[in-house]
Structure 1
Amino acid sequence: MAKLNIFRLLLILVLSYLSDRANGRVKFKGVNEKLKQLNKPAVKTIQSEDGDIIDCVDIYKQPAFDHPALKNHVIQMKPSFKLKEEKLGTKGLSSKLVVSQTWQKSGSCPDGTVPIRRIQRKDLLRAKSINRFGRKPREVVSKSNITDPKNGLYPSNNSTQVALPTIVNRSAANLVTLGYNYIGAKADINVWNPNVAAADEFTTAQIWLKAGPGDNFESLETGWTVNPHLYGDRRTRLFAYWTKDSYKSTGCFDLTCSGFVQTNPQVALGAPIEPVSSEFGQQYHVTLGIYMDPQTSNWWLKFGADVPIGYWPAGSLMFYLNHSSTLVEWGGQVYSTNVKKTPHTKTAMGSGQFASGLYGNACFIQNPNIVDFSMALKYPEWVGTWADDYYCYTAYNYQKGYGTLPVFYFGGPGQNPNCP
């Protein structure tokens, strides 16, 4: 009888193990530990009407300080620099600045705390692995390593054309400047809520500052995204991102890993922004910028009317970006395993309309400025457009008239009659 009971017990354990494997639970046996690591004790908790939970966390207990290189880091509470802005001829588009997030309707965080979107169990269970949670998928580079944009020039430096790699699992439509030492970039990014066709795909409108070799570059990024795999819905959300090794094993979105030091108690990374633009209706934009502090080498993220959110301590996190960026991009990106193939994904970029639709129809980026060591915001000396999946997403730097600055339009619907 004892042997029979032991056999039954073993059978139950085996069946339970197989059931767990079938449900993906074995892979996530460290979920509770990861949640405890990510979600720091809250001084105050805010339940947002959109379903998010915002924890107001002591500024000195935020996730940044879990990074080994930041154990003894002293917080820089505000930037030490002030930028000059060149006043160039421009005809501004009729667009309202977005400065609010949905959660702010339900409360505010006290001084001395920072608002952090709480990571829930269901968020982790969507990830392919706990270690990859909050990270962009690795870039898969085509063996041909050359993209042939149909809409114009290769990006170039001093009239020398530069071949950019073809990324198999991403499509981009960007405005590019490269070859100089940039210590900042800014833009007014038109806000939309494009369609994302599959739960494991995402779309962005953003700024990139990059440095380093093409197969192991460093990148600081910000903009808006629709990313159901990470956030669990299809809302348009403010995001920040960093990587030291071209998305291989470092960095993450927002505060889902250690690294970014937040100082602002009013803006939550990863939280929805509203309102969004409508076709031939009211247009909205979000103003975002990333700037290096010349005294500390920290890269500051600013939102709206020059409001600092926090910074990446480049001296601790980066190597190439500890000095400057050599490549700046503005525009959109779609991640899917079904780009550049048939059938193509239906995930949209920008407004979901092609760049040729212009104002009110296509997504735009206005005032794409850079900062060099003159510490002045200015339009880049040279820019080029880049679209590597041209029949699906396009890029167009449109100049309305002589003496005015161009406005960059980008986007598209993904799959369409010319992009089957």
Structure 2
Amino acid sequence: MLLVVLIAFQSIYHVYGNETINKSLGLEHKGTIKTIEGDNGDIIDCVDIYQQPAFDHPLINDLQMEPNTYPIGTKMNSTFEFDIRQDWNKNEECPEETIPIRRNTNTSYYNDYHKQTFSMMGDQQNQNILQRSSGGHEYAMAFDEGSSYYGTQAVFNVWNPHVERNEFSSSQVWITSSSPSINTIEAGWIVYPSKFGDTHTHFFIYWTADNYQRTGCFDLDCPGFVQTNRHYAIGTTISPFSTYGGNSQEISVNIFKDIPSGNWWLQVSGYMVGYWPKSIFTGLADHATDVKWGGEILNSRTRGQHTTTQMGSGHFFGEGYRKSSFIRQLKVADAGLFPREPGYLSKIVTTPSCYNLNFWKNPRTMMGTHVYFGGPGFSSICK
């Protein structure tokens, strides 16, 4: 009976998801009250909060404006923790009771929308990651695999790596459950020309409830994530970014389960942005079983050789601070939403001659438990 219900839900979702994508393809989003254009070309539609894509989902029919519970030590307001800038709202802002949605005019991305598989994780992860690496996805990640997780937080330094056409490079966190099917919530920064139509660095989110088959999407590209904040637009460019040997620019990401509602909330550099509803998940409706941090690239070998797409800063972890990409202050949360150091960290590096990673635990320092990772892609040792 459960299988029949799940198949029916996925079929309904597939129809609603495509409908939302078709309506937003280069056009004003449904429910738009105001449109703002940034200097960098981003077009932002200020959409009635109750007409955002999430409410096209058959299982989402109410709005939670803020969490009932927070991880201990989490700031409960929108004060900046880091100097992140969104070009679109430096002169204007979305009105009350609206949310900002970036308009995407990249037709080719949406034409291939359900053919693309961005990433995958889960308890079968080690075997599946190795299988996917032969299909072009390459990883350098650390993971903490335990029994029950109810949140994670970390600080990412932001780069703008070189990425070949039709490929991507991301620095991100995955919070995952694998039963009865792989569920995942993902967030971080990415360079993805065929999705965003440029080579800028963008903040992104992603989710799936069925191992990347029929459910899930980036950002607000389909019904799923419920946004509550009118100041932060998911999918817009991150500015400024780090420079080799220079200043390190950072964002913080905090994902946690609001225990009373079961919803998974997202906080980005002080902004409480919104949530993934409990109702769209199966395994993650309860808790996560592992958390990962690191980088991923897509290698399409367009010239018969390894891609030149870079991971992180484009430099190996051994070059260190101000030169290599890092994610610091890694934390996980238990059922009491108490942030703690990860337990026994392991790592998966699929192509160490091209990209690598290492981690350290220094809990009393600014870096805390942290990973350094990245690499240049094609080189004399990476072919």
TM-score norm. by structure 2 comes to 0.85
Q: 1:36 to 1:97 in 2, by over 3 A?
A: closer
Q: Using the TM superposition, name which of 330-339 and 271-280 deviates more.
A: 330-339
The equivalent residue for 1:68 is 58
1:321 corresponds, among 262, 279, 284, to: 284
Taking only aligned residues, the RMSD between alpha carbons, in angstroms, comes to 2.8
Distance of 2:31 and 2:104 partners within structure 1:
12
Distance of 1:212 and 1:304 partners within structure 2:
29
Q: 1:56 to 1:38 in 2, by over 3 A?
A: closer
**Contact in 2 for aligned 1:293/1:300 (Cα 8 Å):** yes
State the Cα distance separating 1:257 from its structure 2 match: 0.5
1:282 corresponds, among 228, 242, 247, to: 247
State the Cα distance separating 1:223 from its structure 2 match: 0.4
**Contact in 1 for aligned 2:100/2:231 (Cα 8 Å):** yes
The equivalent residue for 2:263 is 298
State the Cα distance separating 1:129 from its structure 2 match: 3.0
**Contact in 1 for aligned 2:161/2:311 (Cα 8 Å):** yes
Distance of 1:370 and 1:402 partners within structure 2:
16
State the Cα distance separating 1:280 from its structure 2 match: 0.9
Specify the SS of the correspondent of 1:110.
coil
Residue 84 of structure 2 corresponds to residue 99 of structure 1: yes
Residue 140 of structure 2 corresponds to residue 173 of structure 1: yes
Specify the SS of the correspondent of 2:293.
strand
Distance of 1:283 and 1:100 partners within structure 2:
15
String of CA shifts for 1:321-367, please: whole Å, max 9, x gaps. Answer: 0110001001110023339x961111011000011111011000110
String of CA shifts for 1:248-306, please: whole Å, max 9, x gaps. Answer: 2211110011111000000001000111000110111100111110000000011112x
Q: 1:336 to 1:213 in 2, by over 3 A?
A: farther
The equivalent residue for 2:171 is 205
Q: 1:114 to 1:38 in 2, by over 3 A?
A: same
1:125 corresponds, among 101, 108, 112, to: 108
The equivalent residue for 2:203 is 238
Q: Using the TM superposition, name which of 75-84 and 34-43 deviates more.
A: 34-43
Residue 153 of structure 2 corresponds to residue 186 of structure 1: yes
String of CA shifts for 1:29-62, please: whole Å, max 9, x gaps. Answer: x996563998223111101111111010010010
Q: 1:33 to 1:417 in 2, by over 3 A?
A: same
Specify the SS of the correspondent of 1:166.
helix
Structure 1 residues 3-402: aligned runs within 5 Å = 33=23, 35=25, 39-70=29-60, 73-85=61-73, 97-120=82-105, 123-129=106-112, 131-132=114-115, 136-137=117-118, 165-167=130-132, 168=134, 169-197=136-164, 199-212=165-178, 216-305=181-270, 307-314=271-278, 316-338=279-301, 343-399=305-361
Q: 1:62 to 1:36 in 2, by over 3 A?
A: farther
**Contact in 2 for aligned 1:98/1:273 (Cα 8 Å):** no
Distance of 1:395 and 1:356 partners within structure 2:
9
Q: Percent identity?
A: 35
Q: Which runs of 5+ in 2 are unaligned?
A: 1-17, 75-80
**Contact in 1 for aligned 2:24/2:103 (Cα 8 Å):** no
The equivalent residue for 2:10 is none
State the Cα distance separating 1:213 from its structure 2 match: 5.1
Specify the SS of the correspondent of 2:309.
coil
The equivalent residue for 1:12 is none
Specify the SS of the correspondent of 2:90.
helix
